[in-house]
Structure 1
Amino acid sequence: MKNLFLSLAVLASVLTSCSSDDSGNSTDNGGNVPATGTLTGTISADMTLNAGTVYTLKGGVYVASGATLTIPAGTKIKAYSEDDATEVAFLAIKQGGKINAVGTAAKPIIFTSSKANPAAGDWGGIVICGNAITNLGTNVLAEVTGLNYGGTNAADNSGTLSYIIAEYTGNLINEEAEFNGFTFYAVGSGTTVNNLLVRQGADDGFEWFGGSVGGSNIAAIGCQDDSFDWTEGWNGTFTNMYSDQSVATTFSSDSRGMEADNNTATPTLAPISNPTLSNITLIGRNSAAVTSEAGIMLRRGTKGTINNVYIANFKGSTGSYGINFNGAETQAFFLASPVTNVSINNVTENSNKPENYTANANATGAGSGAAKPTWMSWMGL
């Protein structure tokens, strides 16, 4: 996670592309399925795609409040990433909009790059903005897309995401901030999330900004920054989380399996990040050239109930730990409520606060320790 605001230039670009009805783009497609297979502009009424069509996602595509985008099992969407692209391609669900993207193990939904030789950062990613609670308040301006997020409905429902692969995400927003694979902005617990894979992303795999969305069976493979990242009071519940950064195709000097914050400026700002997470495997790059990394970085006031964790191969040369408990508030919380059942293997140092976790050499993590668990078998890895 990079805690930055949009640059004025990027923000101006976003505002310029918005129409007077705040549709998010000057092109309004209503609910009409495009005959050419190209998705652009704003979807302002219910739209159901055809599984047999390979779609091109061109520029920012927005699902407006009151509209639902339905993506059936087996659909393939290629984000336009060619050299002549004038805008970064991404899919954004606005507050009050919904996405029902329900694949199956046999027929997952695939978001990928249009390039013949794709690479991390070819396109943006999938962004969902909800009306759940964040400790920054309501109608907060998102770093990614510049849309609003945050409300008062912890049970807000932004739809369903199931059996989806998102690969080559993480295009640059500005010089120090990128899109993530899946970004959840104040997404509520009424949203269904399970069986998601982010592969070869240039930034984070999954990031939560407040909200209460939970789920199961999520994996980040080869993401260059953090695999799982949260801030702004996120309090969802997830089980089965797998990360392997060793297969990233480009180098990063600063990457973590998990990076966890409550609030950068005010660590005690309520509601405090306090997710419940279990069955976690985090595999690092096994490289001393990664100067600052950790299996888990818990900092800036975050809390959490974390159990059954397998951590391996975080070998950075500077301040690298299996688990790094950072900051007085976070350290005090985990001293009283330690991370439990943790197996740490082949790291520079196990932890800066060994009293804040309980070791268990037999912890299975996401299911099979370092090995990919059976629930990932549909991913084709």
Structure 2
Amino acid sequence: DPSGDSLSEGNETVILTGTASGLTSGTATLTILDDDAAPTALTLSLMPNEVEEGTDATRINVTASLGSATPSQIEVSVAVTGGSATAGEDYAAVSPFTVTIQEGRTSGTETLPFDPAADGLAEGAETVVFTGSAAGLTAATATLTINDVEPAPAPLTLSLNSESVAENAGRKTLTMTAFLGSGPRASDTAVSVKVAGGSATAGEDYTAIEDFAIPIEKQQTSATAKFQFEPLDDALAEGEETVVFTGSAAGLAEGRATLRIVDNDRSTTREGGPPAVTIWTDQLTYRVDEEIRVYLDIDPKGDEREYTVFFYRGSIDTGERMYLAPRKRSMELWDEVVDQYGQTKDSRTARRLERMDAKLIWKGRVPHPGLWHFVAEVRSPGTTQVLHRAYAKFVVPRNGSRLLNRRGTKRFIETDLHLPNDWYYHLGDELHVSDGGTLTIDAGTVIRAWGPNAAIIVEQGGRIVVRGRREAPVVMTCSLPVGERRPGCWGGLVVRGTATAGSGAGAQTSVLPRGRFAPGSGGAAYPNGSSGEIRYLRVEFAGGGPLTGAPASAVVFEDVGVRTVIDHVQTHASAGDGFAFRGGTAHCSYCVSSDTRGNSVAWSMGWHGSMQHLYVQQGAQGASGMHGSSESEAVPGTMPTFYNATLVGGYNIGVLGGVPGSRRTIGPGISLEAGAGMYARNLLVTGFAGYALDGSAADFVAGSSSLANAVLTKSGWRHGGSSQVRGRFKPYVNYINWDADLLNVRHEPNPDPRPRSGSVALRLGNAAVPPFDSRFLRTAEHVGAFRKKNWLEEWTFFGPERAYEVPVD
């Protein structure tokens, strides 16, 4: 007769033994099967579960419970793990303690002395969270509430003498009043005022405001303080924006006041849009005895507003400026600030923009050696706020030109090679950075290359350090004259690391045949390895490929590790792909690919890296904006991560120039082959002839690939335009099909792909929050690569080469 109990003790046995004279004994075993489940869930409770602030130490019974009796003693560790109250300020710190559940019991209790502190602050109820844990059991929590005993604070009110300011109003003096709603106080009150939020952004929509104080004297109920507020005019039709001020003082509830910035910009159509301003020089580098010529092109695009326009030559090294007055038909350089008509601050007036077509606005001897630029600025009338700015950067090297190698002569860097910007450089063939070598390139350096085998190849174990800056990017470009450069003029840049993610079998040739190295062949894999730092680099007119004539990729990262810094890098006018990631874990921030004839971004060979803030402006002859492939069954599937990308095609919507509605041969926005996946959030894809997403959906069906929080719009016209993704993807992709309303993505210099205010790309809730990961900027809670800042400005190069043709005198 087995006895029933509630203990989870496992199966038990009874052994019976039989004996008889002259015989060996025999045994038989009877098993009693346990019908009690082992306890797995733990419950934690507090009695009482509320205490008042400032009371004496309270004895709290902490009980740990199980769903069934335990067959052996259990020690439950209990500790404070969270809550809104702060140990040492709101209560005496509690050390971890133990609650014991004895054998055969379902619960145990321990008494905890708890001492809530009185702080005199009206802060509302606060909490302390306890967590209990024991081996083999799920953790449990219990919450203790500390109730506040202080009365609610007296009210504080803030008000402004003006509730709104026009965006183009310039600097204004405003008055803030602080008022005590509970009447005068017996002592002075110091009210601290600061900007605490709003939809406007300091530094972009208005000049940042320092915190200030409003002292209210005793027996008074109010006081005022004046402060300077300067809204920053821009060309964005973004509607009203707000600046929220808060005021605080001891013992008072926080006060708030809101200032509205009234927009003065009208919305413009895609066919019109903001004015186009292009300025360029006839060369990128000059000898000290050469003449420089500067050209200007202005197309108002139907904008009839009035502006003040300035042109100047500036030294990037010293900040020195000399102003030009091309409308005065003078080649003179002015020390003082004058506008395009030669008018000074006291006499200048705003005027409508006038069209200029490739006009020579200045010629003369080059300035002293250094880094220079000519700048065109379109400003809001009556203020110093710049609405549009265009740059023509050039270098006057102190030492002239230097030959890195000749055609047919390869060069290998075994140790270190430093390229300062007091030379400009010619590249005629392969320049290899071997294992143990480092190539360092200073800001502003220009490397001019010619020939399909002219390429920089950083081998496994080698390093490249590009020290470009926004105002002085490093430029690797075609050696042909400005206005005559073409895709495939030279090879490009290859970086090979050791972060192997897959085999190199069957790998595609990149800029050059690999020789002794291929992805996956280089010994041990180092996914966190570094091949150097690349900051503010432009690679132009590359992709020439080997002498066979096959197009290649402008910039290739093979097995490159995640610690390699790739930050603000552009490929422009590649004859093949723009960026190619083959294996490895490389991460790219603020990368740009424009006017490629292949895919703007391609990945394969098991790349498991990532990109954030990617801008693609696909060329009229291009393939896909992004293309993923596996290339070999022996290679693990590629699975990169993408956040905040804007991909712009040009089919049937006129965004790449020409007549709006004209048809262009452009492939899909994103194309995936079997075995090539992606995890993508906050992507904006618009204007592709093919679908925004096409190819193999196998990884989406399997759940290993994902695309969500996306805006996919104005694509798929080759397939009738009724859908943005091929049918097989529809059940697995989360996107919005709505015009993104981008400011200017015309096929011309100086694009501005920011969404206008109210765009679906900026609406709260449409974007995903980037993850807690050092690679990603978590504040990028918007769809696409841009919010308010056009991070393309100054360092990038766009537009057809014909836009930079040098007219014949």
Q: What is the TM-score normalised by the length of structure 1?
A: 0.79
Task: Map 1:127-276; keep pairs closer than 5 Å.
Answer: 127-136=494-503, 143-147=510-514, 148-149=517-518, 150=520, 151=522, 152-173=525-546, 177-246=550-619, 248=620, 251-252=621-622, 255-261=623-629, 263-266=630-633, 269-276=634-641
Specify the alignment match of 2:104 in structure 1: none
What is the identity, as a one-letter code, of the residue corresponding to 1:305? Y
In structure 2, list runs of 5 or more residues that go unmatched.
1-398, 406-410, 653-662, 717-722, 739-759, 762-782, 799-809
The answer (yes or no) to whether the contact 1:301–1:327 under 8 Å persists in 2 is: no
Displacement of 1:176 after TM fit? 7.3
Q: Are positions 1:310 and 2:675 aligned together?
A: no
Specify the alignment match of 1:332 in structure 2: 701
**Deviating more after overlay: 159-168 vs 177-186:** 177-186
The answer (yes or no) to whether the contact 1:258–1:296 under 8 Å persists in 2 is: yes
Distance 2:642 2:549 in 1: 29
Distance 1:331 1:103 in 2: 39
Q: How many residues align?
A: 325
Q: 1:67 aligns with which of 424, 427, 437?
A: 437
The answer (yes or no) to whether the contact 1:264–1:300 under 8 Å persists in 2 is: no
> Residues 141 and 286 of structure 1: is their aligned pair in 2 closer, same or farther, counting only changes over 3 Å?
closer
Q: Are positions 1:375 and 2:791 aligned together?
A: yes
Distance 1:188 1:47 in 2: 22
The answer (yes or no) to whether the contact 1:243–1:257 under 8 Å persists in 2 is: yes
Deviations 1:286-342 (A, max 9, x none): 16552x721011222122210011111111xxxx211114153x24245x6530111
Specify the alignment match of 1:17 in structure 2: none
Deviations 1:168-197 (A, max 9, x none): 011033667322121011111121101001
The answer (yes or no) to whether the contact 1:303–1:333 under 8 Å persists in 2 is: no
Distance 1:178 1:142 in 2: 10
What is the identity, as a one-letter code, of the residue corresponding to 2:651? N
Distance 2:695 2:509 in 1: 27
Distance 1:282 1:308 in 2: 11
**CA RMSD of superposed structures (Å):** 2.4
Specify the alignment match of 1:55 in structure 2: 425
**Whose Rg is larger?**
2
Specify the alignment match of 1:9 in structure 2: none
> Residues 234 and 97 of structure 1: is their aligned pair in 2 closer, same or farther, counting only changes over 3 Å?
same
Specify the alignment match of 1:105 in structure 2: 470
Distance 1:110 1:342 in 2: 33
Deviations 1:224-269 (A, max 9, x none): 11111100110112100000114x5xx35xx0000012x2342xx4
Distance 2:441 2:648 in 1: 32
Displacement over 6 Å in runs of 4+: 138-141
The answer (yes or no) to whether the contact 1:297–1:324 under 8 Å persists in 2 is: yes
Partner of 1:332, secondary structure, is: helix
What is the identity, as a one-letter code, of the residue corresponding to 2:693? I
Partner of 1:126, secondary structure, is: strand
**Deviating more after overlay: 104-113 vs 237-246:** 237-246
Specify the alignment match of 1:46 in structure 2: 416
Partner of 1:204, secondary structure, is: coil
Partner of 2:511, secondary structure, is: coil
Displacement of 1:145 after TM fit? 2.0
Deviations 1:330-377 (A, max 9, x none): 24245x653011112211241112222111342331115xxx962211
Distance 2:422 2:609 in 1: 35
The answer (yes or no) to whether the contact 2:572–2:797 under 8 Å persists in 1 is: no
Partner of 2:495, secondary structure, is: strand
Displacement of 1:36 after TM fit? 5.5
Distance 2:429 2:420 in 1: 20
Q: Are positions 1:299 and 2:673 aligned together?
A: yes
The answer (yes or no) to whether the contact 1:325–1:331 under 8 Å persists in 2 is: no
The answer (yes or no) to whether the contact 1:55–1:78 under 8 Å persists in 2 is: yes
Distance 1:46 1:172 in 2: 26
Distance 1:331 1:177 in 2: 33
The answer (yes or no) to whether the contact 2:512–2:545 under 8 Å persists in 1 is: no
Q: Are positions 1:350 and 2:729 aligned together?
A: no
Distance 1:327 1:215 in 2: 25
Specify the alignment match of 2:89 in structure 1: none
The answer (yes or no) to whether the contact 1:126–1:181 under 8 Å persists in 2 is: yes
Distance 2:502 2:615 in 1: 27
What is the identity, as a one-letter code, of the residue corresponding to 1:112? T
What is the identity, as a one-letter code, of the residue corresponding to 1:128? V
| Identity of matched residues, % | 26
What is the identity, as a one-letter code, of the residue corresponding to 2:732? N
Q: What is the TM-score normalised by the length of structure 2?
A: 0.38
Distance 1:142 1:44 in 2: 24
Q: 1:123 aligns with which of 483, 490, 493?
A: 490
Which has more helix, going by share of residues? 1
Distance 1:169 1:144 in 2: 9
> Residues 331 and 179 of structure 1: is their aligned pair in 2 closer, same or farther, counting only changes over 3 Å?
same
What is the identity, as a one-letter code, of the residue corresponding to 1:365? G
Distance 1:121 1:39 in 2: 20
Which one has more relative contact order, counting CA pairs under 8 Å at least 6 apart?
1
Specify the alignment match of 1:23 in structure 2: none
Deviations 1:18-58 (A, max 9, x none): xxxxxxxxxxxxxxxx9961112111211111212110011
Q: 2:454 aligns with which of 89, 102, 113?
A: 89
Specify the alignment match of 1:8 in structure 2: none
Distance 1:198 1:373 in 2: 21
Q: 1:359 aligns with which of 735, 739, 743?
A: 735
What is the identity, as a one-letter code, of the residue corresponding to 2:677? K
Distance 2:479 2:510 in 1: 25
What is the identity, as a one-letter code, of the residue corresponding to 1:366? A
Distance 1:347 1:144 in 2: 31
Specify the alignment match of 1:31 in structure 2: none
The answer (yes or no) to whether the contact 2:474–2:538 under 8 Å persists in 1 is: yes
The answer (yes or no) to whether the contact 1:286–1:313 under 8 Å persists in 2 is: yes
